[in-house]
Amino acid sequence: MIFRETKLAGAYIVEIEKQEDARGFFARTFCAVELRRHGVDFQVVQANISHNHRKGTLRGMHYQAPPAREPKFIRCIRGAVWDVIVDLRPGSATYLQHIGVELSADNGRAIYVPDMFAHGNQALADGAELLYLMGGPYSPDHALGLRHDDPAIGIEWPLPVSVIHEKDRGWSLLQVNSPRLE
């Protein structure tokens, strides 16, 4: 696995290293030992899959408030998505900054999303699927979100939004001069 640091400390894009021969290829897609070598102590406690019927579907921007932890290791297993994370860590030098990356079954990329990062994605193809390895269980009492189109964050999605859940459309806009999220 090849770890690529992002501008958001602790978040990584993870590429596969293909071992190819006449049969095809083999590649490691997850390794807790390699994550620890990069300073990430990640224990899988839950695995989830999301399927998007239509290109343009947008999910997010989701996170969990403390004390609930929800770091994620996410890989696209069918189709392609534009995946975005936003740093919500109080005191972080990159607070409210975001990155986006294309995850696809073809490119084999994954993203490691630390705790206290909002996460969302947009399907770039019909039938896009993601596999989520979760470092903490889902806690509905701590589930929160940011608006995908909040001007205070400025995410540029590659496609018009074709489908979005009412809950995701209804998150409040951030107040530019408000104190940091906690």
CA distances from 18 to 27, 29, 81, 84 (A): 5, 10, 21, 25
Cβ pair 150, 172 in contact under 8 A: no
Q: Is 112 a catalytic residue?
A: no
Report how far Cα 121 is from the mean position of its chain's Cα atoms.
7
* Beta strands 72-78 and 128-134, pairing class: antiparallel
The number of residues making up the chain comes to 182
List Cβ neighbours of 127 (8 Å cut-off, separation of 6 or more): 51, 52, 53, 78, 79
Q: Which of 38, 132, 138, 142 is catalytic?
A: 132
Q: Which of 62, 98, 119, 148 is catalytic?
A: 62
Q: Is 62 a catalytic residue?
A: yes
CA-wise closest residue to 89 among 126, 115, 119: 115
- The count of other CB atoms within 10 Å of the CB of residue 152 is 13
> How far apart are the C-alpha atoms of 107 and 116, rounded to whole Å?
27
**Catalytic positions, please?**
62, 132
